[in-house]
Amino acid sequence: MPRIAYEEWNPKPATAALVVQAVGIISEYSAQGYDLTLRQLYYQFVARDLIRNSQREYKRLGGIIAKARMAGMIDWDAIVDRTRNLRAWQTWSGPQDALEWLRDRYTLEKWSHQPAYVEVWVEKEALAGVFERVCHQLGVPFFACRGYVSLSEMWSASQRLVGRRDRGKKTVVLHFGDHDPSGIDMTRDIADRTELFGQTYGIDVRRIALNMDQVEEHDPPPNPAKMSDSRAEDYVATHGYQSWELDALDPSVLSELVRTEVEQLRDQDLWDDLEAEQEEHMETMEAIADRWEEVRDALGLS
């Protein structure tokens, strides 16, 4: 990953030590294949008792990390913004290049052969990198809700889920959200509106995280419950005045939660059979890509 300096910066010893700590945390997660948002990095500092959990400390850390990146002390690829991205068309240099690209990404639609159909929904787009990785490995669809799901997207999703249900599949949505007044209520909202738009029961909406047992097990840094939230009164009556963000859980913990739930819902023998079939298809595509000129000539193509 690149470290490129655009300006000079000579931090005080305490600030320089914080940068060293940040580089250590980043390296630790990079070795596991994860990148981090600034929010995730901040929660790692809080969880390790390196800084206090406050908005002021979050802003201070953000300023230090920004200066360190500009000074070439932290890799530019180490901190990501998952909410602002360029979207471009996929292009190739030619047919052989396209075949090689497809060979590396070819995946059979294995869930069509399963008794269950599963989707993973997460409240925050900022966690997309964590969830996309494990969902790709498991071949399960992933959806970043960005808070409460819009009316249009909720209707479309319900029709998609109902279609699977009507084909006789056990249809399950695994929902991940913050443990705060709105985050808890979002799971209820998804369940209610899939039932409404589906016109009947049959879509199983499960809240996988963040739940109180996980808070007790992993001890993520707490935040004050937002009393301005219209749902705060009921939340406080049940859970007290503290709340917790999903971002505060270690990415490996989130990934394992997804993996455990999905693997319990799929027939592994059926899955393995399709994995073997997929591998055969990929080998065929690889042979065609490697001998593209021979294939082209044999077909009389220019």
Task: Name the token pair of 87.
Answer: 């979207």
Right CATH number for 115-266 from 1.10.8.350, 3.40.1360.10, 3.40.50.620, 3.40.50.10490? 3.40.1360.10
- What are all long-range contacts of 222-229, with beta carbons under 8 Å and residues at least 24 apart? 222/53, 223/53, 223/180, 225/180, 225/181, 226/180, 226/181, 226/182, 229/180, 229/181, 229/182
Segment 274-301, tens digit of pLDDT: 999 999 999 999 999 899 888 888 888 8
What's the confidence (pLDDT) of residue 200?
62
Which run of H or E residues covers position 56?
helix 55-70
Q: Are 173 and 190 in contact (CB under 8 A)?
A: yes
Q: Are 289 and 99 in contact (CB under 8 A)?
A: yes
Segment 60-74, tens digit of pLDDT: 999 999 999 999 999
Mean pLDDT across the stretch 105-113?
89
What's the confidence (pLDDT) of residue 86?
74
Per domain, the residue ranges of the chain are 13-70, 92-114+267-302, 115-266
Rounded distance between C-alpha atoms, residue 236 and residue 242, angstroms: 8
- Is the pLDDT reported for residue 208 higher than 70? yes
Mean pLDDT across the stretch 234-239?
94
pTM (two decimals): 0.83
Mean pLDDT across the stretch 36-64?
92
What's the confidence (pLDDT) of residue 88?
81
Rounded distance between C-alpha atoms, residue 77 and residue 79, angstroms: 6
- Is the pLDDT reported for residue 219 higher than 70? yes
Q: Are 229 and 243 in contact (CB under 8 A)?
A: no
Which run of H or E residues covers position 152?
helix 151-166
What's the confidence (pLDDT) of residue 176?
98
Segment 139-190, tens digit of pLDDT: 999 999 999 999 999 999 999 999 998 889 999 999 999 999 999 999 999 9
CA dist 154 → 123, 131, 159 (Å): 13, 20, 9
What's the confidence (pLDDT) of residue 1?
57
